[in-house]
Each structure stands twice: as C-alpha cells, then as structure tokens.
Structure 1
C-alpha cells in the first residue's frame, strides 16, 4: 500500500513524513547521510579520493602535467576541474557530451577553487615564464543519489591533500625539464572548503543532504560552502523559490557545523594513510 502511494503521489508521500519531522529514509530533517572517505585509491593518479554520501559515490583523480605559463600570468600554473556524470551512475544521464548538470557541477567546482583559494596557482609555478604544473582534477560520479556538489567538494579537497608534486629541475645545457618521481613534496592546501546542500519543500520545510528523489520534489535547492575560518566561500542557489533571511542563516549555521565534521573525517583518514606508509 505504501509503495503504491509513493509511486502514485510521491510529493504527498514525502509530505506525510515531513509533517512528523522525519524523512522516508528515517533521517531527521537536519541529518546528513553517513559519509565515508578513502584516499589514494587510484594508484596511477598523483592524488585521489573516493567519497560516499549515502548512496552517492564520487571519485576524484588528479593528474599532473608540465606546461608553459601564460604571458599574462608568468608565475602561475593551472587547475582544470571536470565533473563527469556517466550513464552507469544513473539512468537519468546519457552517453555523449557533458549534459547541463555535469557542466554546472564543473563550473561550481571551478568557482569554489577560485573563491576559497584552496590552491594558490603561484605554488604550481616551477620557473617563472618557462614552466609550471597543470592539475587536471577529474571527478567522476559512480553512483548518483542526490547531493552531488557536496560529494564533489569533499572528494576534491581530499584528493588535493593526497597529491604529491615530483621534484623538477631544468637542465642547464638543454633547457629541458627533468622530473624526479622518487622525490615528491605535498601540494600545499591553503584552505579547506566544504559544501552543505539543502532543499526546501513547500517553500517552508528545510532539509539537509537531499536524495535524488527529494531534489526532484523540492521547490528550492541551496548549497553553502564555508572554510575553516567560517568564512562563506559560496552560496549557490540555482533558481527555485526565495529563502527568508532566517532560513538562509539556518543553512549557514548548519554548514559551519558540517564543515567541522568533514574536516575531522579528512584529517582522520589522511593520518591513517600516512601511518601505513
């Protein structure tokens, strides 16, 4: 009976739970799903991380390449993020060029990298005007069940902390770079952005960490990104109904708490991996 009601009237089905201050999966309105993290899981990458937020699973692999700096920024390298939503992660995505959601997610991640200064591109310069690093940050969704942006930001942060830059010298005689893969130094992470996503039902009921089904039924969607100094790096709201100042402040407050939880998780996993080496 309940399954039939859910199929025929999904919004009313969810409303029946929201009236009781809970959700169909048993969570409270302000409760995030279980989040797990594994770093260094791609042996062929220069840095990597696998994140699960509930059923949503995202992996980030970082590859390094040498390049020439631009004339406009001779002392800077590059960071190139890309989010991929392949058909294997959900039936809603199709094979072919990146869809609108994948493009929007890639742009969101690029904006967070810039607004949070998580990596300063000056750190990627090897020799001014001649040589720099390019960081290709490929984020692939393996299983999609809502709240993609939070998972992408966690995976990116953890993968950047896992990235090691090889030693590079420029041969004085030939002028060509020589890479020593045996000697690596950690990439300097200047800040730790963490995203927290929310959905609004019927313009009034606020929930955190929405599933794909909840996202589809909500009237508004919001992602708040903060750093370790509790500064706002981004408030991303792609359309939908407006939020009151009180609701927005509630989101920001919850995002600050979530930031502490995720940073503890990242630090714990990072220490565990380092102790194994």
Structure 2
C-alpha cells in the first residue's frame, strides 16, 4: 500500500515523512548520503577516482597531453572537464551528443576549477611559450540517483589528488621533448573545493543531498561550493523557489561542515593507500 501511495501520490507520500523531520530513506533533512571514495581505479590514467554518493556513482579519469599554450598566456596550461550522462546511468538520458544537463555540468566543473583556484595553471607549463600540459578530465556517471553535481566535484578533486605528471625536458639543440615516465611529480593542489547541494521542498523546506525522487519533487535548488581554507567559492541558484537570507545562511553553514567531512574522507583514503 505504501508503494502504491508513493507511485500515485509521491508528493503526499514525502510530506508524511518530512512532517516528522525524516525522509523515506531514513535520513534526517540535514543528512548527506553515505559517501564512498575509491582512488587510483583507472590504471591507464594519470589520475582517477570513483565516488559513490548514496547510489549516485561517478568515475573520473584524468589524461595529460602536451600542447602549445595560448599566445596571450604563454605560461598557462589547460584543464578541460567533460561530464558524460549516458543511457547506462539512467533511462532519462539518450545516446548521442551531450545533452543540456551534461553540458551545464561540464561548464560548472570548469567554474569550480577556475573560481576556487585549486590548480595553478602555470604549474602546467613545460616550456614557456612552447609547451604546456592539457589535463582532460573525463567524468562518467555510472548510476544517476539524484543531483550528481556533488559527486562530480568530489570525483574530480580526488582524481586531481592522485594525478602525477611525468618529467619532461627539452633538448635545446633539437627542440624535441623527452619524457621520463619513471620520474613523475604529483600535481600541486592549492585548495580543496567541495560542492553541497540543497533542494527546496514545498517552497520552504530544505533537503540536503537529494535523491532522484526528491529532485523531481523539488521546487528549487541551490549548490554551494566552499574550500578547505574556509572560503566561499560559488553559490549557484538556477531558479525555482526563492531562499530567504536565513535559509541561504543555513545552506552556507552546512556546506562548510560538509566540506570538512569530505576533506577528511579524502585524506583518510589517501593515507590508507599510502600505507
């Protein structure tokens, strides 16, 4: 009978739970889903990570290539995030070119990297004016069960943390590059950006880390990106129900708490691999 109610009247079904400050998956309104992180899972990539946020699963692999820099920025390399939302992760998506949501997510990943300054692109310079590194960051959603942004940001960040680039030198006589794959250096990370998403239910109730069902029933959403050095990086409010200043302050406060949890998870995962 409960399943019938959930299917026929999903909004009323959720309201019965939320009136008791709980959700159908037994989380309270302020609770994020369990987060699992696996790093170094793609052996052919320079860096990689797999994130499972509840049932939402995202894998990130980073490949490095050498290219010429822009003329106006001779010492800066490039970071190119690309998010793939294919039919294997959800029936919502179709085969073919990236849809609007995937393109929007790719753009947002680029914003996170740019505005957080987590990577100094001058660190990707090999020979000024001639050669720089390009980091292609492929983010593939393996299972879509709710707002995927937070999982993508965490997967990208964890993949950055595992990325090592080979030593490259240039022969001044021949102008040719020599790459030593036996000597690799870890990518320098300036800070750790963390994304936290909140949805608005019934126009005034905040739900942290929504599932796909909560996402469908929401009347609005907001994503807050903070860094481990206590900086507020991005507030993304694409539309829907408005937030009061008090609600926005609450989202920011919870985002900073979430940031500490995620950074702790990354450090614990990295330390367990190093042992």
Give the TM-score category using the shorter length.
over 0.9
In structure 2, distance between residues paired with 1:193 and 1:146: 20
Query: Corresponding residue for 2:156?
Result: 156
Query: Corresponding residue for 2:230?
Result: 230
Query: Corresponding residue for 1:271?
Result: 271
Q: Determine if the alignment matches structure 1 residue 248 to structure 2 residue 248.
A: yes
Query: Corresponding residue for 1:129?
Result: 129
In structure 1, distance between residues paired with 2:152 and 2:95: 20
Query: Corresponding residue for 1:169?
Result: 169
1:109-155 Cα distance to aligned partner (Å, 9 max, x none): 00000000010110000111011000000000000001200000100
In structure 2, distance between residues paired with 1:96 and 1:238: 25
Query: Corresponding residue for 1:101?
Result: 101
1:93-121 Cα distance to aligned partner (Å, 9 max, x none): 00001011101110110000000001011
In structure 1, distance between residues paired with 2:180 and 2:273: 23
| Structure 1 residue 223: Cα displacement | 0.7
In structure 2, distance between residues paired with 1:104 and 1:15: 30
In structure 2, distance between residues paired with 1:131 and 1:87: 38
Compute the TM-score of the two structures, normalised by the length of structure 1.
0.98
Query: Corresponding residue for 1:83?
Result: 83
In structure 2, distance between residues paired with 1:90 and 1:174: 51
Q: Equivalent residue of 2:166, what SS?
A: strand
1:156-212 Cα distance to aligned partner (Å, 9 max, x none): 110001000100000122101111000000000001000011011111111100001
Matching of residues 203-218 of structure 1 within 5 Å: 203-218=203-218
Query: Corresponding residue for 2:139?
Result: 139
In structure 2, distance between residues paired with 1:172 and 1:119: 29
| Structure 1 residue 30: Cα displacement | 0.3
Q: Equivalent residue of 2:167, what SS?
A: strand
Q: Equivalent residue of 2:135, what SS?
A: strand
In structure 2, distance between residues paired with 1:98 and 1:16: 37
Query: Corresponding residue for 1:186?
Result: 186
In structure 2, distance between residues paired with 1:260 and 1:153: 15
Long gaps (5+) in structure 2? none
Q: Equivalent residue of 1:87, what SS?
A: coil
Compute the TM-score of the two structures, normalised by the length of structure 2.
0.99
1:19-49 Cα distance to aligned partner (Å, 9 max, x none): 1110011110000110000000000000000
Q: Equivalent residue of 2:88, what SS?
A: helix
In structure 1, distance between residues paired with 2:274 and 2:136: 24
| Structure 1 residue 229: Cα displacement | 1.9
Runs of 4+ in 1 over 3 A off after TM superposition: none
| Structure 1 residue 231: Cα displacement | 1.1
| Structure 1 residue 274: Cα displacement | 1.8
1:49-104 Cα distance to aligned partner (Å, 9 max, x none): 00000000000000000001110100100000000001000000000010111011
